[in-house]
Amino acid sequence: MASITFSPDDRYNAFITTLATAETGPGRLSGIPVAIKDNISTRGIPTTCASRILTGYVPPYDAHVVTLLKREGAAIVGKTNMDEFGMGTTTENSAFGPTLNPVDLTRVPGGSSGGSAAAVASGMVRMALGSDTGGSIRCPAAFCGIVGLKPTYGRVSRYGLIGYANSLDQIGPMAMTVEDVSLLMEVLTASDPRDSTSISCPYHHTPDPSVTGLKIGVPEEFFGEGVDPQVATVVWNAITRLESDGAEIVACRMPSMAFALAACYVICMSEASSNLARFDGVRYGPPADIKQPWQKAYQEQRKAGFGTEVRRRIMLGTFALSSGYYGRYYAKAQAARQQVREDFARLFQTVDVIAGPTMPTVAYRIGEKNDPLSMYLSDTLTVPASLAGVPAISVPCGTQGGLPIGLQVMGPWFRDEKVIDVAAAYEQGGIA
């Protein structure tokens, strides 16, 4: 085994924990520094989910994806900053302070995998892992001008990923190029019997940058209310360039977009309410004051350990699951989710992929999204792919005022190769 030294640039606050020396071995990733989002378990390295409630927690095991990276010689150099437990779109909701966007230090890097995106965009690492629940890989990829893939749900093991919303969470690769994202996918897709949602579907693919004869569906809802006109223009120019390279553009509709965002947040918050119940001051984090009645000790520990946004989502999720409200909220959200899946299935009968903007705007200023609703609305274009479980990639396609804009490409279930091909076709043609 060899080792490499790592000296992160502290200007961006991209890392929570770093390793001054990282081991590397033989393999396809030999000598390559890789950053890991801090909600992915790493044996012997603190894993905090950017939360005070996990202070002092050091996992005794590696996540399946970390084991796979090590087998291929990757040098794990640190754990990246994030929105606490993955709950946010800016990486401002962190107990360790906000991450700054390397493109413009007054802007957010996106979230919740903002630390991973900033680490890649700044050149500190060549590759990173993020996790995506409603857009948490694609959003920061778009805001920081890198490539980020949310794989098909089940194609990458979630073993060792600290859960936010189990039916949506998916680990995925982030890098400066489509080629590196594709290389990481080859490493990450070994099946895992410890994850009941893991499906054996190895990825062995060299990106093909040809789009000749490809049918690209463009739902009008992806260019509707809330999408910045300048962002829409840049993305349309990117899609038009793919058309000039031989693709056929097909206008289409996705009616379920009208309620996809609301459905996703009800499901996310409900599952978070259940997942985060385990953080009680007994098994993880600073110990609760056991001299008090357990109910009071439990309440005080969670109030002190969780940030405002996490507490908000736990309370809303608990309400949605409570007696008398389950049918009104959670059951309806699941029915809406099925309509989103059906919309994708219908469209993929006539088109090969679907394209549109990744985010409705460019990266906003730090502190700009200070109310929850405006932050939640930022996820409008990314949540449909998450609800349906289809693969989706964000690739840089231009700028507005010097700030990056992402083109989002979504494909059929387990056709991650196809969305990577389309992203490679755009990337290799150069920025429009």
Cα distances (angstroms) measured from residue 196 to each of 64, 129, 167, 201: 13, 21, 11, 14
Q: What is the 3-state secondary structure (H, E, C) of 198-231?
A: CCCCCCCCCCCCCCCCCEEEEEHHHHCCCCCHHH
- List the one residue out of 177, 236, 224 whose CA is nearest residue 356: 236
CB atoms under 10 Å from CB of 417, counted, come to 17
**Bridge partner residues of 219 (DSSP):** 252
- Residue 319, H or E segment: helix 308-321
Tell me the residue type at 7: S
Q: In angstroms, rounded to a whole number, what is the distance separating the alpha carbons of residues 169 and 418?
A: 21
Two structure tokens written together for 222: 């992806």
- Half-sphere exposure of residue 130: CA atoms within 13 angstroms, side-chain side: 39
User: Among the options 41, 112, 157, 386, which is catalytic?
Assistant: 112
Cα distances (angstroms) measured from residue 299 to each of 84, 152, 306: 19, 37, 11
Q: In angstroms, rounded to a whole number, what is the distance separating the alpha carbons of residues 429 and 238?
A: 10
- List the one residue out of 354, 386, 413 whose CA is nearest residue 170: 386
User: Among the options 41, 113, 136, 273, which is catalytic?
Assistant: 136
Tell me the residue type at 337: R
Q: In angstroms, rounded to a whole number, what is the distance separating the alpha carbons of residues 228 and 38?
A: 32
Q: Specify whether 157 is catalytic.
A: no
User: Among the options 37, 79, 369, 418, which is catalytic?
Assistant: 37
- List the one residue out of 111, 113, 118 whose CA is nearest residue 88: 111
Q: Specify whether 386 is catalytic.
A: no
Tell me the residue type at 104: D
H-type helices in 15-165, by residue range? Answer: 64-71, 114-121, 138-144
Q: Specify whether 37 is catalytic.
A: yes
Q: In angstroms, rounded to a whole number, what is the distance separating the alpha carbons of residues 92 and 292?
A: 33
Which residues are designated catalytic?
A: 37, 112, 136
